[in-house]
Amino acid sequence: MRQDNNLKHVKVIAPLFDRLIDQEPSVPSEAEPFRGLTIEELKHSIQREVNYILNTRESKIPFSFRSLNGNHSTDWQGNYGLPDFSSYDVTEIEGSRKLAYHLQQIIENYEPRLINVNVSIIKYKNSIQSLSVSVTGEIHGIPLLERFTFPINIDQISVK
C-alpha cells in the first residue's frame, strides 16, 4: 500500500472509546493524555471495531426509546451486531454474495470511518460455524490513502 511519508506522522482525533481504553492499567496516570492516532493506529482501531461488530449478535429483545420530540418509539432499526443468517447457503455463489452484501451494509452502518466497503467471503467452516471474510475500504476523511484490506474471522455464525 502506498502511503505518503508526510502522513506517517499525522495524527487524527481518536474516537471516544479508544481514548477511554486504558492501554497500561498498571500505570496510575498517563504522562501525556491520549488524544490522537497515527494512520496505522487508526487502521488498527477500525479493524478492531469491525471485528467487534461482526462478532456481536443482534439482540432479539425489543428496544424502545423516547425520541427528541418526546414520542415513545420501538421502530428504531439500530440493533447492533449480526442478525440470524441461517437462511443463507454460503456454499452457493448466490448465498455468499447475499451474505457479503449484508455484512458490507452492517459495516457501513456501524463503522462510519470506513467507506466504499467491499466484503469477500473467504472460507466457511461448518464444523465450528466460523466464517472468514476479507474487508476492504477507505478511511473516511483521510485523503491520499489507498484502500486497505484486513481479514476478520466471525465465530459461531449460523448459516447453511
Per-residue model confidence as pLDDT tens digits over 102-147: 999 999 988 988 999 999 999 888 777 788 999 999 988 776 677 8
pLDDT per residue as tens digits for the range 31-69: 666 677 888 888 999 999 999 999 888 766 555 555 555
Classify 46 as helix, strand or coil: helix
- What pLDDT score was predicted for residue 6? 58
Task: Enumerate helices (H) and strands (E) in the chain, giving the number of each.
Answer: 3, 7
Residue 9 pLDDT > 80, yes or no? Answer: no
Supply the pTM of this predicted model. 0.72
Q: What is the Cα–Cα distance from 75 to 92, expressed in whole angstroms?
A: 33
Cβ neighbours of residue 149 under 8 Å, at least 6 residues apart?
134, 135, 136
| Domains in the chain, CATH or no CATH each | 5-58+83-154 (3.10.450.40)
- What pLDDT score was predicted for residue 47? 93
